[in-house]
Chains A and B, each alone.
Chain A
C-alpha cells in the first residue's frame, strides 16, 4: 500500500507538475502568478494539515472522499508543489543558446520542447526528483493519521493488539529504510541506463 500510494502519487503528481512547470515558465503573467502562489502555499504548510483539509474540511462543503483516495489526492498535490519547482529549475537551466540553436535549425515548437528542453531538463533534475520521491515515500507514513492502512497504519493496529510497540516500530522503521535504500539504488541504475550508457557523447562530456 505504501508503495502503491507513493508510485501513484508520483506519477499523478509529476503529470500535474509538468503542466504547472510549463505554465510557470511559458504561460501568461496571471497564470504564472497563480502557479507561484500554489507552489508557495504547498511548500510552506505541513503535509499533515493539507491532508486534514482534504479529509476533514472538504466534507463540510459536501466533497467527501474515501480515506485512501484522500491520501492519494493529498500526496499528489503535495508532491506536485515540490516537483513543479524542481522541473522549473530544470527547464530554466537549459541554456538560451540551445533554444536559439533549435530555432536556427528550423525546429517546430513541439520538436523544440521534446529534444531541447524536456530531455536535458529531465536529466538535470533527475537526482532531485529521486530525492523528492523518497521523501514522498517516507512522508506517506503520515497518511496513517487519516486511518489509511499503509505500512504505518498496519503497524499501529498490530502494536495496539499486541502491546509490543517498540519491536513493531523498530521493524517498520527498518522496512522503510530498506525501501528507501533499494529505491534509491534502483532509480540510480535506471538513470545510468537511460542517460549514460549508449550515449558516448555524454561520456566524452563527462571527462
Chain B
C-alpha cells in the first residue's frame, strides 16, 4: 500500500530544503575563509605559495565534485578507521570545493585592481597588509560580488550530488518520497521547482549587480 503525495509529503520536502540550505551556507562560509586565503596565496609574491594555491585550484576544478565527495567520505573513513555518517565528509568536500572556486574568482577580482593602486598605497606609506586591507580588498570586493553570488547558485545545485552518498537533503528527500508514493512524475519536477525557487532569485540578483558594476566601471554591454 503506497501513500499518496499529499501535504505531509510536501512538508517533508520543504523540511529537507533546510539541509540543502544549511550545507550550502556552511560550505559557503568555510569556503569563503579558505577561498580568501587561496586568493591571497595566489596573488602573493612568494612563488611557492602561488604554486601550491594554483595546484589546489587546478585539481579541484579538474575533477568531478562527486569524486571529491567519495574521496572525502572514504578517505575520512580510512583515516579514522570507522565509517562516518555523511555529514563531516559532505561538509569537508563542499567546503574545499567552494574554497577552490571562490579562491579563483577572488584572485581574478584582486588582479583586476590596477597596479597603480598598489603603488599609490605603498607610496603613502602603508604596510603590505594595510595596502591589501584598506586599498585593494575594498575595491576587489565590489568586483567580486556578482560572480560570488553566481557561484552560490552553482553550490546550491552542486549539493544535490551529496544525495548520492546518502546525505538527506532536498534531492535525497525527493528520492525517499518517490520510494513511498511511487509518483516520480509529481515529486521530481516539484524538487526541480524548489531548487529553481532557491536559485533563480540569486541568478537575477547576480545579473543585476553585474550590470550595476559594469555601469559604474563604464563598461558598455550590448543588451
Contacts and interface: CB of A to CB of B under 8 A. Distances in A.
Interface stretch (B122-130, B182-190, B209-217): B182-190
Interface string A84-102: 0000000011001000000
Interface string B38-82: 000000000000000000001101111111101100110110000
A40 B66 CA distance: 24
Given A48-B171, A52-B174, A141-B64, A169 B222 contact: no
Tier of interface size on chain B:
35 or more
A157 B191 CA distance: 28
Interface in A130-167: 134, 138-142, 144-145, 152, 165-166
B192 A49 contact: yes
Nearest to B69: A169
Given A44-B196, A48-B171, A49-B188, A166 B63 contact: no
Given A145-B164, A166-B75, A176 B64 contact: yes
B185 A47 contact: no
B203 interface: yes
A100 B213 CA distance: 30
Which of the listed residues A45, A96, A140, A172 has the most CB atoms from chain B within 10 Å of its own CB? Answer: A45
B67 A48 contact: no
Contacts of B196: 41, 44-45
A26 interface: no
Given A166-B75, A169-B70, A142 B64 contact: yes
Interface stretch (A8-16, A27-35, A53-61, A66-74): A53-61
Contacts of A58: 185
B62 A48 contact: no
Interface of A: 40-41, 43-50, 52-53, 56-61, 92-93, 96, 134, 138-142, 144-145, 152, 165-166, 169-170, 172-173, 176-177, 180-181
